[in-house]
Each structure stands twice: as C-alpha cells, then as structure tokens.
C-alpha cells in the first residue's frame, strides 16, 4: 500500500496561501531559486528532505550542495514549493541569479560540489504485514518527512518483485530465522506467537522445510537485488543477520539455531563469506541461550558482555573526490550520541576490505558503505537514533520533538542518494 504524508489540517489551511519565512538579500517574490539551508539555522531538517523529494518527484530540477551549509539544497522558485515549505515548516531562502553565482563561486573555491538530483527513487520497506509505521526508524522518518514508500515482505522478494524498486530498507529483521532469540523472554506473548505463525505459514507456502531455510532464500533475493543495481539500506539486526544468512549458504547452521538441534561445531568453518555483503570471518553465537547473533556486534546489548554507549563521529569526505561518501555524511552535527539496537555497531576487523567507514568510535564502526555487483549497501547500527534504550513495547518516538535530529538525517541522506547524479571526476 502506497504510504503518503499526513498533515495537520488546521496548519495546512492556515498556511496554504502563506509564504515560508524567507531571509537574505534575495527575499523578494521573484527570485530564481530557493535555497534550503541545512546548517543549524534550518527549522526542520527532516522535512527539508521531504520537500526536496517532492520537488524531484514532480520532475523539477534540484541540486544537493555537498559541504555547503551542511548539505543545502537548491530548488527552483515555484509558488507551490513555497507553499509546501510553509506547510512543512521548512526554512527556505530566496536567492536570485547573482546570489546563486556567488554560492557557486564560494563552492568552487572550497571542497564543495553541486550534485544534480534527477529522479525520485522508488522506495520499498521490508516489513511484515500489519506492522505499525513506528516499528522502525526509517518508516517513522519517511512518514514524518512525507516521503512515499511501499511495503514488501517475503512473498514479494521470493516472487522477484524487488527490481520494481530502486531502494530497499531492512531494519530489525532476523534473517537467520531465530526470531531474534526472543523465545525465552517472549514465547507466551501474542506478538511473538503471531510472528512464528506468520513465518511458518510463509515457509510452507513457498515449499521450504523451515523458517531458517525461508529466510536464507529471502536473503539471497535481497543479495540479487543489490548485485543487479539496487540500493540497500539496513539498520539494527538486519545488518548482521543478513550476512550471517548469506554466509551460511550450504550449511545447516541457522536451522540448528532455530530448531533446537545440537549445533554443528564445524558448520561455522564452512560458512562462505564471499557471499556476504559487508562482513567476513565472523564467529556465530551457537548457544540458543545467549541473546546475540555473532561477534560482528560490538555492544552485545542483551548479554552479560553489554558495553556502554558513547558517541560516534562522522568522517569528513571530499565532495569532489568522493561524492558518494560525502552525500551519506552531510550533517549539521559531526559527533552524534550512540544508541542501542540488537546490533548496535560493528567490529572493524569483521568488515571486508574496500568498505568505506562513514562513522566510528574507536574500533567500533557505526555507519559503513560499500558496493556489490552493480549496486551498493549502507549499514547503520542501532534501532532508533532518538531512543538510546529502546525496549520492546516502548511508545514510538515523536519526531515532531526531534525535527533537527542529526541521527535521523543520516537515514534521509540515504533516501536521496539514489536520486543523485555525481559529475564525472576530473582526470
């Protein structure tokens, strides 16, 4: 089902004929462009992405000004865009031709680059049926920013429908088929019983012997999507368990986890890490009583080895030499408070060579990007950037209280990344 933005009706009526707050010398009514600043002067960073997405979705020209005012957007001056900005509460500045020329001159003298945003990516979120929109941070911020998306689950993957989309998100799924090892704590709860029944039915429907076998096939479908040119963005346990499922191809390691059979101690040595996207050489957690998947995760949040949270720092990248990495780290805040997830962060020594580390704290990698085949993947550890200790059953985060969230901005950078057309590098 296509999900669309929801606005407060009173606010929409009141502002539909109003203009957004404009500042600067070009704040007249006939400017050629609207600049969307993304520094600390922006009133709603998250909805600024929604505004920009709406512009490119309607076929208008838009530019992402990398490393200029913390990743500002340059939009055409249209009445509807002004009205939309007013409804969303996004700060824009009217700039005329002379001011745009000054901006471009400033960028030419610094390590900045203007990237054209050409086409709005078709977005899919992998999530079970009837999952509420606050079940993961990405769905939550898509709803808040007003960016349209569709939901897919195992049937759509196995039926080969992922190529209908450009960008796919995974969150706290467990692709090893172990239900996140929640049996001991939540076996009697209605939500876990429903999850088990739903996954079992799906495995039977597609002729798989058990849920781990089903999830391994789904993981392979997601890998094919990436290899064929798709953009994958994953958070929380989906990052770790996707690669564990892919690497377990040809072994029964995940089946032994879920079905209560004694684990095969030699299965880990037979795992094929060449099939994984991001990680290599990880040691899976064979004990069903230990609520952790492997040694990829550095925080082991639900075990006795749990580590305390700190902060993670974004790396700076040249907008000219490395525009992709620069896009993914555009932000108004360089150091961001950490937050837990079933997979919180990644051990640096478990990453494959060639991965681009985007943010880390010591040897703990929070945010990482890489290529596979014709496509790419980006993994971001943790569950909710504005809820550091998120627990099962907690109320959803109210993003209207966090419109300038630096942690959520990283998610939205990934939303616009597929729309960008970096200029050819100078040789």
* φ, ψ for residue 113, nearest 5 deg: -155, 140
Residue numbers of the chain with a pLDDT score lower than 50: 1-21, 23-28, 424-427
pLDDT score at 9 = 31
Count of other CB atoms within 10 angstroms of residue 103: 20
**pLDDT for the residue 276:** 96
Smallest CA-to-CA distance from 20 within 94, 103, 70 is with 94
Cβ neighbourhood burial of 266 (10 Å; 0-12, 13-18, 19+): exposed
Q: Buried b vs exposed e over 60-92: b needs ≥16 C-beta within 10 Å?
A: eebbbbbbbbbbbbbbebeeebbbbbbbbbbbb
For residue 213, give every residue at least 6 positions away whose Cβ sits within 8 Å of its Cβ, in sequence order, or none: 177, 203, 255
pTM passes above 0.85: yes
Determine the 3-state secondary structure of 28 from DSSP. coil
Residue 172 dihedral angles phi and psi, to the nearest 5°: -95, 30
Q: What is the pLDDT of residue 257?
A: 57
- Measured torsion, CA atoms of residues 296, 298, 302, 308, in degrees rounded to the nearest 10: -170
* Per-residue model confidence (pLDDT) at position 258: 59
Helix axes 190-205, 211-227, angle to 10 degrees: 70
| pLDDT for 190 | 79
Q: What is the pLDDT of residues 296-310, one digit of tens each?
A: 999 877 767 778 889
28-63 confidence digits (pLDDT tens): 455 799 999 999 999 999 999 999 999 999 999 899
Residue 46, CA atoms < 13 Å, CB-side half-sphere: 24
Whose structure tokens read 């749990």?
A: 306
Domains of the chain, first to last: 9-117 (no CATH), 123-421 (3.40.50.880)
């Amino acid at each position: 089902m296509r999900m669309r933005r929801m606005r407060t009706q009173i606010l929409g009526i009141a502002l539909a004929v109003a203009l957004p707050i404009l500042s600067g010398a070009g704040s007249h009514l006939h400017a050629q462009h609207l600049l969307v600043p993304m520094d600390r002067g922006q009133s709603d960073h998250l909805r600024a992405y929604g505004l920009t997405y709406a512009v490119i979705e309607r076929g208008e020209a838009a530019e992402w000004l990398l490393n200029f005012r913390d990743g500002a957007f340059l939009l055409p001056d249209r009445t509807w865009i002004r009205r939309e900005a007013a409804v969303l509460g996004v700060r824009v500045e009217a700039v005329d031709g002379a001011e745009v020329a000054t901006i471009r001159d400033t960028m030419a003298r610094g390590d900045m680059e203007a990237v054209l945003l050409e086409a709005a990516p078709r977005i899919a979120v992998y999530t079970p049926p009837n999952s509420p929109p606050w079940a993961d941070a990405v769905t939550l911020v898509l709803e808040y920013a007003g960016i349209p998306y569709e939901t897919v689950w195992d049937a759509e993957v196995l039926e080969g429908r992922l190529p209908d989309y450009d960008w796919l998100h995974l969150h706290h799924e467990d692709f090893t088929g172990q239900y996140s090892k929640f049996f001991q704590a939540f076996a009697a709860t209605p939500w876990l019983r429903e999850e088990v029944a739903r996954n079992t039915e799906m495995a039977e429907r597609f002729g798989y012997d058990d849920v781990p076998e089903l999830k391994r096939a789904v993981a392979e479908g997601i890998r094919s999507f990436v290899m064929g040119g798709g953009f994958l963005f994953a958070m929380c346990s989906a990052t770790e368990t996707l690669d564990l499922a892919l690497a377990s191809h040809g072994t029964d390691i995940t089946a032994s986890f879920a079905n209560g059979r004694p684990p095969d101690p030699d299965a880990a040595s037979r795992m094929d890490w060449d099939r994984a996207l991001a990680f290599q050489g990880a040691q899976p957690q064979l004990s069903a009583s230990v609520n952790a998947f492997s040694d990829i995760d550095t925080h082991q949040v639900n075990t006795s080895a749990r580590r305390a949270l700190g902060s993670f720092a974004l790396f700076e990248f040249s907008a000219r030499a490395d525009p992709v990495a620069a896009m993914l780290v555009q932000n108004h805040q360089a150091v961001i408070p950490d937050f837990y997830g079933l997979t919180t962060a990644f051990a640096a020594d478990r990453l494959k060579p060639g991965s681009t580390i985007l943010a880390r704290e010591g040897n703990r990698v929070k945010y990482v990007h890489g290529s596979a085949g014709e496509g790419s993947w980006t993994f971001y550890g943790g569950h909710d950037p504005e809820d550091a200790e998120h627990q099962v059953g907690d109320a959803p985060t109210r993003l209207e209280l966090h419109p300038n969230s630096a942690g959520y901005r990283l998610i939205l950078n990934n939303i616009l990344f597929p729309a960008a057309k970096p200029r050819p590098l100078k040789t």
